[in-house]
Amino acid sequence: MTARFRRAMPFDAPALLTVRAATRENPFSIEALAAAGVDAASVASGLEAGKLAGWVSETEPGTIAGFCLADIPAGELWVLAVLPSHEGRGFGRELLARTEQLLWQAGHTSVWLWTSPDPNLRARRIYLAAGWRESEVRDGQLFMRKQRA
Protein backbone atom coordinates (compact mmCIF):
# COMPACT_ATOMS: atom_id res chain seq x y z
CA MET A 1 0.00 0.00 0.00
CA THR A 2 1.35 3.39 -0.94
CA ALA A 3 0.83 6.63 0.86
CA ARG A 4 0.33 10.20 -0.19
CA PHE A 5 2.22 12.72 1.94
CA ARG A 6 0.92 16.21 2.52
CA ARG A 7 1.38 19.01 5.03
CA ALA A 8 -0.64 18.74 8.24
CA MET A 9 -3.55 21.18 8.34
CA PRO A 10 -5.62 22.51 11.27
CA PHE A 11 -8.65 20.47 10.18
CA ASP A 12 -6.55 17.30 10.66
CA ALA A 13 -6.26 17.83 14.43
CA PRO A 14 -9.01 15.39 15.57
CA ALA A 15 -7.66 12.63 13.30
CA LEU A 16 -4.10 13.27 14.49
CA LEU A 17 -5.15 12.73 18.10
CA THR A 18 -6.97 9.54 17.12
CA VAL A 19 -3.82 8.21 15.44
CA ARG A 20 -1.70 9.22 18.44
CA ALA A 21 -4.04 7.43 20.83
CA ALA A 22 -3.98 4.28 18.67
CA THR A 23 -0.20 3.82 18.56
CA ARG A 24 1.07 0.46 19.75
CA GLU A 25 4.13 1.74 21.60
CA ASN A 26 4.07 4.62 24.08
CA PRO A 27 0.32 5.26 23.63
CA PHE A 28 -1.48 8.20 25.18
CA SER A 29 -5.27 8.14 25.38
CA ILE A 30 -7.17 11.17 24.16
CA GLU A 31 -8.06 11.81 27.80
CA ALA A 32 -4.41 11.68 28.89
CA LEU A 33 -3.46 14.04 26.08
CA ALA A 34 -6.23 16.44 27.11
CA ALA A 35 -5.03 16.31 30.72
CA ALA A 36 -1.60 17.38 29.41
CA GLY A 37 -3.18 20.30 27.54
CA VAL A 38 -3.15 18.64 24.12
CA ASP A 39 -6.54 18.50 22.46
CA ALA A 40 -7.92 19.05 18.96
CA ALA A 41 -8.37 22.78 19.57
CA SER A 42 -4.80 23.31 20.80
CA VAL A 43 -3.29 21.29 17.95
CA ALA A 44 -5.43 23.08 15.36
CA SER A 45 -4.50 26.44 16.88
CA GLY A 46 -0.80 25.54 16.85
CA LEU A 47 -0.97 24.50 13.20
CA GLU A 48 -2.94 27.61 12.27
CA ALA A 49 -0.45 29.91 14.02
CA GLY A 50 2.60 28.16 12.57
CA LYS A 51 3.88 27.12 15.99
CA LEU A 52 3.32 23.51 14.96
CA ALA A 53 4.07 22.19 11.49
CA GLY A 54 4.45 18.78 9.98
CA TRP A 55 3.31 16.14 7.57
CA VAL A 56 0.64 13.45 7.36
CA SER A 57 0.53 10.24 5.36
CA GLU A 58 -2.77 9.24 3.82
CA THR A 59 -3.50 5.82 2.39
CA GLU A 60 -6.56 7.29 0.71
CA PRO A 61 -7.87 10.86 0.75
CA GLY A 62 -8.96 11.76 4.27
CA THR A 63 -7.60 8.58 5.89
CA ILE A 64 -4.52 9.48 7.94
CA ALA A 65 -2.18 6.54 8.60
CA GLY A 66 0.54 8.54 10.34
CA PHE A 67 1.87 11.99 11.07
CA CYS A 68 4.84 13.90 12.39
CA LEU A 69 4.71 17.36 13.96
CA ALA A 70 7.37 19.75 15.18
CA ASP A 71 7.25 22.75 17.49
CA ILE A 72 8.97 25.08 15.06
CA PRO A 73 9.97 27.94 17.41
CA ALA A 74 11.36 25.49 20.00
CA GLY A 75 13.23 23.35 17.47
CA GLU A 76 11.55 20.27 18.92
CA LEU A 77 10.35 17.22 17.05
CA TRP A 78 7.06 16.98 18.90
CA VAL A 79 5.48 13.70 17.82
CA LEU A 80 5.83 10.91 15.27
CA ALA A 81 2.93 8.46 15.19
CA VAL A 82 1.87 5.73 12.76
CA LEU A 83 -1.13 3.43 13.07
CA PRO A 84 -0.09 -0.11 14.02
CA SER A 85 -1.66 -1.44 10.80
CA HIS A 86 0.76 0.71 8.79
CA GLU A 87 4.00 0.12 10.70
CA GLY A 88 6.99 -1.23 8.82
CA ARG A 89 6.13 0.42 5.50
CA GLY A 90 8.51 3.37 5.76
CA PHE A 91 5.83 5.94 6.52
CA GLY A 92 7.47 6.95 9.80
CA ARG A 93 10.90 7.43 8.23
CA GLU A 94 9.47 9.57 5.44
CA LEU A 95 7.35 11.66 7.82
CA LEU A 96 10.38 12.18 10.07
CA ALA A 97 12.63 13.27 7.20
CA ARG A 98 10.05 15.71 5.84
CA THR A 99 9.39 17.23 9.25
CA GLU A 100 13.10 17.57 9.99
CA GLN A 101 13.36 19.62 6.79
CA LEU A 102 10.78 22.06 8.18
CA LEU A 103 12.97 22.56 11.24
CA TRP A 104 16.09 23.13 9.12
CA GLN A 105 14.19 25.54 6.85
CA ALA A 106 13.18 27.49 9.97
CA GLY A 107 16.88 28.11 10.64
CA HIS A 108 17.59 25.57 13.36
CA THR A 109 21.03 23.98 13.27
CA SER A 110 20.34 21.66 16.20
CA VAL A 111 16.97 20.10 17.03
CA TRP A 112 15.77 17.88 19.84
CA LEU A 113 13.13 15.41 20.93
CA TRP A 114 12.32 13.28 23.92
CA THR A 115 11.20 9.67 23.88
CA SER A 116 11.12 6.59 26.05
CA PRO A 117 14.59 5.31 27.00
CA ASP A 118 13.39 1.73 26.37
CA PRO A 119 15.88 0.31 23.81
CA ASN A 120 13.24 -2.13 22.54
CA LEU A 121 10.91 0.56 21.20
CA ARG A 122 10.79 1.14 17.45
CA ALA A 123 10.79 4.93 17.79
CA ARG A 124 14.22 5.00 19.36
CA ARG A 125 15.65 2.81 16.59
CA ILE A 126 14.06 4.98 13.91
CA TYR A 127 15.56 8.12 15.43
CA LEU A 128 19.03 6.58 15.76
CA ALA A 129 18.92 5.34 12.16
CA ALA A 130 17.97 8.87 11.05
CA GLY A 131 21.06 10.38 12.68
CA TRP A 132 19.66 11.43 16.05
CA ARG A 133 22.02 11.00 19.01
CA GLU A 134 21.20 10.26 22.61
CA SER A 135 21.84 13.27 24.82
CA GLU A 136 20.66 12.46 28.35
CA VAL A 137 17.98 10.74 30.39
CA ARG A 138 16.02 13.18 32.52
CA ASP A 139 12.83 12.56 34.50
CA GLY A 140 12.54 9.12 32.93
CA GLN A 141 12.73 10.45 29.35
CA LEU A 142 15.51 10.09 26.81
CA PHE A 143 16.48 13.38 25.18
CA MET A 144 17.94 13.12 21.71
CA ARG A 145 19.55 15.73 19.47
CA LYS A 146 20.31 16.04 15.81
CA GLN A 147 22.68 18.49 14.17
CA ARG A 148 22.04 19.84 10.71
CA ALA A 149 24.32 18.14 8.22
Below-70 pLDDT ranges, the chain: 1
Read off the pLDDT of residues 88-129 as tens digits, 9 standing for 90 and up: 788 999 999 999 999 999 999 999 999 999 988 888 999 999
Q: Report the pLDDT value the prediction gives residue 122, as an integer from 0 to 100.
A: 87
Instruction: Give the span between the Cα atoms of 72 and 140, in whole angstroms.
Output: 24
Burial of 11 (0-12, 13-18, 19+ CB in 10 A): exposed
Q: Report the pLDDT value the prediction gives residue 61, as an integer from 0 to 100.
A: 83
**37 backbone φψ class: left, alpha, beta (φ>0; ψ -120 to 50):** left
CA 102, 107, 111 angle in degrees (round to 5)?
Answer: 70
Annotated domain spans of the chain = 4-108
Find, among 18, 100, 86, 93, the residue nearest to 58 by Cα: 86
pTM for this entry: 0.92
Find, among 65, 66, 81, the residue nearest to 113 by Cα: 81
Q: Report the pLDDT value the prediction gives residue 57, as an integer from 0 to 100.
A: 96
The CATH number of domain 4-108 is 3.40.630.30: yes
Instruction: Give the span between the Cα atoms of 144 and 124, in whole angstroms.
Output: 9
Helix ranges restricted to H, 50-139: 91-105, 122-129
Q: Report the pLDDT value the prediction gives residue 102, as an integer from 0 to 100.
A: 98
